[in-house]
Structure 1
Amino acid sequence: MPDGDDQQTLSQSIKGRLQEGGQNSVFRDKGLLDPDAVIDEDRIVGRDEQLEDIITYLRPALQGNRPPNMLLYGPSGTGKSLIINAVCQQVLELAKSQGDRYGVIKINCQTIKSHDRAVYRLARNAADEAGVDVGVPQSGVSTDQKLNRFYEILNDDFDSVIVILDEVDLLVGRQRDPNDEPAYSKLLYQLSRASQLGRIDVQISVAALTNDPRFMEELDGRAESSFNPQDVVFPDYDANQLQSILDRRRDAYQDGVLEDGIIPLSSAFAAQDHGDARKAIDLFRKAGEIADRRGEDTVCEAHVRDAQEEAERDRTLTQMQGLSTQKKLSLYATAIVPVYAKRSLNAVPSTVAYRVYQYLTDVLDADEKSRDSYLRYMSEAETYNFVTSEKRGRGYGSGVHKEYTFVDDPEVVAGTLRTDIRLDEADHEEDLLESVVNTQVDDFLAGK
């Protein structure tokens, strides 16, 4: 046990290191690199049409009229939350200056499992916005009581509100029967009909955000009719737009710490991921975090590449956590073929990968499954979008085989799985594994 003096010295050392890390950081205002931050209008890029549409739709709120309901749809990271939050923030400020009680009540439906929880979250967020007590418990009372309390808060504390339902398509609820309406359908009906049914006296509009362009097809007929939204479509960003987005947030960093090429490289990686600005911003931020961790005072392209590799590994690990050991082993055996092969392969032949799988099961003292089982495991990997496959013929009388191409970098997949299947703990030599792969590749190419 350290004595009092030693403990004080340790405490001072920790404080000094914490303060030093903040003082030497490459960041000036890291909050600008939070993808969900409400940003200034001059930082919005490539969304002039969508911005104008939403301004037009929300302008009536400042004139004492009800704005229309809206459906904002497009792929992840295309600016839906960014634009609606930026415009609503300005409406809030203008309404306050006019003496109007305008409210913005937001929930993200991704983590909400039921209609009941969604209603409670709306009531709680409305109470927080109004600065009053929510007045109902999360459990122990009916959904109708929670909904009535939500309406009561709106009537007492607001003149006009907009309810933002982010990722609304994920609010499906408990559907015991395929014909049951999803929870979002019931919630949209209740919110959009509240005024007509005399439940509330305030002006209320709903903005539903979704990645699914077919969202309206899943709505119950009553909900579709009462919701009746104005559509605002958000397409993917291109590489130039992503570059402009990051350039407008470069002041998140200290002057002079960004080397040339950082922003174009971050944008190019994100453009490969279907134009996702959220991923571009995350990558741009993670590169700086890596520089900070290493105690370096500039952010260079190597940091961006390392950040991209970390992001791929994290995403791959998350996707693979639910796979069984045999499926992971099959996928790992396939991934290491392009990693170790000295001869170029356009794709990984199943016959080569299965022989590598057989070697690995022997090394790990694991059950060796049949070739048909291996192919079934890889078919499942294809459904998870880890690989794509194509059937190939080897000439007359030689039959056909499958060839696999990895969606992500196979080296990242292999590195992620290597620790997971505990290959590092097995009694084997890396050179021997590489030799097995190349022997099988040579035999395949030789037609053996």
Structure 2
Amino acid sequence: MADGDDEQSLSQSIKGRLQEGAQNSVFRDKGLLDPDAVIDEDRIVGRDQQLDDIITYLRPALQGNRPPNMLLYGPSGTGKSLIINAVCQQVLELANTQGDEFGVIRINCQTIKSHDRAVYRLVEDAALEAGVDIEVPESGVSTDQKLNRFYELLSQNFDSVIIILDEVDLLAGRQRDPNDEPAYSKLLYQLSRASQLGRIDGHISVAALTNDPRFMEDLDGRAESSFNPQDVVFSDYDANQLQSILERRRDAYQDGVLEDGIIPLSSAFAAQDHGDARKAIDLFRKAGEIADRRGEDTVCEEHVRDAQKEAERDRTLTQMQGLSTQKKISLYATAIVPVYSQRNLNAVPSTVAYRVYQSITDLLDVDKKSRDSYLRYMNEAETYNFVTSEKRGRGYGSGVHKEYTFVDDPEVVAETLQADIRLEEVEHNGDLIESVVNAQIEDFFEAS
């Protein structure tokens, strides 16, 4: 067969597999499980008061008046972005029917490192919203020139605009001195004063979103007075509210593919993690993605549990990237104790874990650190929130030891650490490690 025929056959094979995967997916509308999707109000759950407040604050935009500035604060995944974006979308549609030019400018400050960069991002989003050219370079001109272009875009294209600054507290900028004004303070002052100073012709309002309830304390006095926002407080979701949120996104899946218990289990996992709706939705989506990867036509509890393990593994891997080899070995030695134990251990005695650590260092032929060093490494693991610890007495005259409890599944922690190149040798000696773990456990309990 000629090369051209081979390429055509391969192309048809790839195309067929792509089409088959799309046709056999458990998803109907996966976009509904994007946590940042702008959704219909009938999918909003447990945020009636916040929704009423923001509707009240934004209503003046439809009456030719300026809405107040707003500060939306509460933990991650509690609906701040969801609510403000949903209401702004409705205001935008109603304003268009009235012939008013209402604009919504959104930036996420998480990855913006300076005041200058934030201003340019505002210019970019305003130009995109207006459908015109940016007309100012990203570098080579002053921040004031970029800010002037931003005001020009607003004046020429909008009667009223709301600027949404998500995760605004992360826009700290380069503060060479602890007393330096953070970048977000300067930006809020400039935006809040634009109308009063005649920098724009229309109305401008700012909605600042933050996880920090003490955000206003770090504002410069001028910025605080000028911004002067209406507060909207968002609390954690409980398990029932998370379950209702997922129920209202059930139609992201095909009919009949979700087994009973999928939504309650996804909600329960997320409720344990501070009531974060983003994590509940992510978990609900990842369970379906796992089912698709395995070519299965239903989503079951096993998929949810595997999705939770993947999420824990990803989070653990990110946190572990900066740990030294010795710290990884210490954490690994502690994690495998409950994994390999023939007893039902809820907490890991430091005495047992340190002896397992000694055996692993022998196996890997690496330096063996002292017990004090091991305990110091585990104290650091506690600051990373891998474990919690508690001191326990072993009876009269036997002293005190520490016991460690893992925040995430210790098996996931162990598997993640095992992927480290220095721990591959341990993976090939599982039976030996298991015998060491159980021998040390029995010695510990006999001595207690």
- Alignment correspondent of 1:181: 181
CA distance in 1, matches of 2:15, 2:345: 54
- Alignment correspondent of 2:74: 74
Query: Quick one: which amino acid aligns to residue 419 of structure 1?
Result: A
- Alignment correspondent of 2:326: 326
Query: Quick one: which amino acid aligns to residue 5 of structure 1?
Result: D
- Alignment correspondent of 2:273: 273
User: Deviations 1:211-254 (Å, cap 9, x if unpaired)?
Assistant: 11111111111111111111101111111111111111111111
Query: Quick one: which amino acid aligns to residue 386 of structure 1?
Result: F
Secondary structure at 2:405's aligned position in 1?
Answer: strand
CA distance in 1, matches of 2:360, 2:222: 57
Contact 2:107 2:122 in 1 (8 A): yes
Change in 2 beyond 3 A, CA 1:134/1:55:
same
Deviation at residue 386 of structure 1 after TM alignment = 0.7
CA distance in 2, matches of 1:156, 1:39: 30
State how 1:24-35 maps to structure 2 within 5 Å. 24-35=24-35
Change in 2 beyond 3 A, CA 1:172/1:2:
farther
User: Deviations 1:136-169 (Å, cap 9, x if unpaired)?
Assistant: 1111111111111111111111111000000111
Secondary structure at 2:447's aligned position in 1?
Answer: coil
Residues 1:312 and 2:307 aligned together: no
- Alignment correspondent of 1:346: 346
CA distance in 1, matches of 2:92, 2:222: 31
State how 1:248-263 maps to structure 2 within 5 Å. 248-263=248-263
Secondary structure at 1:441's aligned position in 2?
Answer: helix
State how 1:114-133 maps to structure 2 within 5 Å. 114-133=114-133
Query: Quick one: which amino acid aligns to residue 270 of structure 2?
Result: A
- Alignment correspondent of 1:369: 369
State how 1:278-297 maps to structure 2 within 5 Å. 278-297=278-297
Query: Quick one: which amino acid aligns to residue 252 of structure 2?
Result: A
Residues 1:204 and 2:217 aligned together: no
Between 1:387-396 and 1:141-150, the stretch displaced more is: 387-396
CA distance in 2, matches of 1:356, 1:335: 10
State how 1:14-413 maps to structure 2 within 5 Å. 14-413=14-413
Contact 1:363 1:427 in 2 (8 A): no
Contact 1:328 1:421 in 2 (8 A): no
CA distance in 1, matches of 2:214, 2:320: 28
Query: Quick one: which amino acid aligns to residue 100 of structure 2?
Result: D
Deviation at residue 344 of structure 1 after TM alignment = 3.1
- Equivalent pairs: percent with the same residue? 87
Contact 1:363 1:428 in 2 (8 A): no
CA distance in 2, matches of 1:421, 1:339: 20
Contact 2:418 2:426 in 1 (8 A): no
Secondary structure at 2:419's aligned position in 1?
Answer: helix
Secondary structure at 1:446's aligned position in 2?
Answer: helix
CA distance in 2, matches of 1:347, 1:150: 57
CA distance in 1, matches of 2:58, 2:2: 63
Equivalent pairs, count: 448
Change in 2 beyond 3 A, CA 1:149/1:109:
same
Deviation at residue 426 of structure 1 after TM alignment = 5.3
User: Deviations 1:150-204 (Å, cap 9, x if unpaired)?
Assistant: 1111111111100000011111111111111211111111111112222222201
Contact 2:74 2:212 in 1 (8 A): yes
Deviation at residue 2 of structure 1 after TM alignment = 7.4
Change in 2 beyond 3 A, CA 1:296/1:427:
closer
CA distance in 1, matches of 2:181, 2:400: 46
Secondary structure at 1:413's aligned position in 2?
Answer: helix
Query: Quick one: which amino acid aligns to residue 303 of structure 1?
Result: H
Secondary structure at 2:311's aligned position in 1?
Answer: helix
Taking structure 1 as the reference length, the TM-score comes to 0.97
Contact 1:325 1:421 in 2 (8 A): no
Contact 2:162 2:207 in 1 (8 A): yes
Q: Which stretches in structure 2 are left out of the alignment for 5+ residues?
A: none
Deviation at residue 336 of structure 1 after TM alignment = 0.6
Taking structure 2 as the reference length, the TM-score comes to 0.97
CA distance in 1, matches of 2:281, 2:69: 30
Q: Which stretches in structure 1 are left out of the alignment for 5+ residues?
A: none
Secondary structure at 1:391's aligned position in 2?
Answer: strand
